[in-house]
Amino acid sequence: MSNENLESKRWGIAMAAVVMQLCLGTVYAWSVFKKPLINAHGWGETQTQLTFMIFMFTIGCAAAFGGTLVDKKGPKFVATIGGVLFGISTLLAGYADQIGSLTLLYISWGLIGGLGNGFCYVTPIATLIRWFPDKRGLVTGLAVMGFGLGAFFMGKIAPAMIASFKGGMTPSGVAQTWYIWGIIFLVLVVGSAMLFKNPPAGWLPAGFNPAGGGVSAANSLTFGDAVKTPHWWMLWAMLFLNISAGLGLISQLSPLAQEFYKSLVTDPAVLADPEAMTKVLAAAGGTVVSISAIFNGLGRLFWARVSDSIGRKAVFATMFASQAIIYILVAMGIISSYWLFLVAACYLLACYGGGFATMPAFAADNFGPGYIGKVYGFMLTAWSAAGILGPYVFSKFKDQALYIAAALLIAGLLITLAFKKREA
């Protein structure tokens, strides 16, 4: 195949990656589903939140294993398995709501869904890093941008779907919503997976000089060698701390937004009607979820692209410092209105997404693209650990959660400032 055809092919794979990640990223709208499930079944807050924690723990472990499989079996194989598991998990989650089984919800949406999502998530990243050695930051940002934007569509569409199905098949209205989305995921995710393929051995884009793009494929470190360096562990810690703060916020984003919005509700009819009040607050929470999800997506593209210019370290230092300040401002009540909270949430999620988008290129710069599936895949175990810590802190220590998040980000800033790029 000519270099021109390969150039076209790599952009086609990039677009398929965006579609896949849009579907995968709908899981960040979890808070939209949580409250209807709690109200319908009488499940506790922490009980229900455990579903999201299981999912986040599983997705990181699955990404580590999936990254190894991508290096051995190829991207199409791994992404197809992941797409099937993710679609089936959503259908099973709907059935869990239908029969009122929290255990099945843990197994389906939490365990199976996290497994499928993790397989799919790491595959386009590992694939595109090989196709785009000349644009690592840009293309990984583009790929995972879809993951951030997925919650926008779910955050806007799901509340209306849940409300329209409420009282039908299930008291919550969640089951039918998940049945529909499960079918959509099976079609779009598996369909996108069919396009994934690694570039020919030794292929480089026309005019690209590997010496200017970090560690070359020939000098790449295996996972066994990479994990022996302090650089790998420092990058792991940076990812863990950024994700912990962001996931904690995401897990409680809709309820937090609803608390801020209560003071804006002045209609006596709404105030006197609990059901009407619930609908108004749910819509306000869904708005914050969906709008901030746009910035979760755009932040991934923005920060990753900026990192190609000013460096990955500078981007992480900026994100850690600015996020810590904003969390403290919210915790102190200086950011106290619904609209200011919306702006703050948008920026915080842009930085949260930016960490995911910038880190693959950061890892490839230091360890090379040759074994990036496993090297970066295992780095995503930070996602698993953060998936437990962040949501747990925000559900268990609600009054102190914002201060704890700020402390985690300050720790991340210190590690970033101490990091020195590994020489090939």
**What are the boundaries of each domain within the chain?**
3-200+217-418
CB 6 within 8 A of CB 130: no
| Residue 406, amino acid | A
Percent of the chain with pLDDT over 90: 42
d(CA 231, CA 298): 28
* Alpha-carbon torsion, ordered 380, 386, 388, 394, to 10 deg: -150
Low-confidence winner among 83-97, 177-191, 196-210 (lowest mean pLDDT)? 196-210
- The secondary element (H helix, E strand) that includes residue 80 is helix 75-99
Helix (H, G, I), strand (E, B) or coil at 219: coil
Which DSSP letter does residue 267 get? -
Q: How far apart are the first and last CA of the chain?
A: 32
Residue 413 predicted with pLDDT over 90 = yes
Whether the predicted pLDDT of 365 surpasses 70 = yes
Across the strands, what pairs with 170? Answer: 166
Question: Looking at 165-174, 193-202, 208-217, 389-398, which range is the least confident one?
Answer: 208-217
* pLDDT one-digit tens code per residue, 377-409: 889 889 888 988 888 888 778 778 899 999 999
- pLDDT value at position 160? 85
Mean pLDDT on 259-273: 82
The per-residue pLDDT for range 199-212, each reduced to its tens digit, is: 887 777 777 766 55
Contact 205, 134 (CB under 8 A): yes
Nearest partner of 140 among 151, 152, 124, judged by Cα: 124
| Residue 123, number of CB atoms within 10 A of its CB | 33
State residue 424's pLDDT score.
Answer: 59
Q: Which residues contact 51 (CB under 8 A, 6 or more apart)?
A: 30, 102, 105, 106, 109, 110
- Token reading at 304: 């990753």
Kindly indicate the confidence band of residue 181, based on its pLDDT and cuts at 50, 70 and 90.
very high
Residues constituting the chain: 424
Instruction: Name every residue whose Cβ is closer than 8 Å to that of residue 11 and which is 6 or more positions away in sequence.
Output: none
Distance CA 355, CA 54 (A): 21
Check residue 177 and give its pLDDT.
Answer: 93
According to the model, what pLDDT value does residue 245 have?
94
- Where on the phi/psi map is residue 374: left (φ > 0), alpha (ψ -120 to 50), or beta? alpha
Q: What is the pLDDT of residues 30-48, one digit of tens each?
A: 878 988 899 889 998 888 9
Q: Is the pLDDT of residue 260 over 60?
A: yes
Indicate the average pLDDT of the chain: 88
- C-alpha–C-alpha distance, residues 265 and 45, integer Å: 25
DSSP state at residue 371: T
Strand intervals (E) in 55-182: none
Comparing 2-11, 161-170, 358-367, the range with the smallest average pLDDT is: 2-11
The stretch 100-111 carries a mean pLDDT of 95
Tokens 């952009």 correspond to 11
What does CATH list as the number for 3-200+217-418? 1.20.1250.20
Per-residue model confidence (pLDDT) at position 214: 58
Rounded to an integer, what distance in angstroms lies between the CA atom of residue 408 and that of residue 320? Answer: 9
The residue type found at 337 is: S
What residues does 166 pair with on adjacent strands?
170
Greatest Cα pair distance in the chain:
70
Judged against a pLDDT cut of 80, whether residue 337 lies above it is answered with: yes
Contact 213, 133 (CB under 8 A): yes
Question: What's the CA gap between 45 and 49, in Å, rounded?
Answer: 6
The listed range with the strongest mean pLDDT (113-117, 168-172, 361-365, 388-392) is 113-117
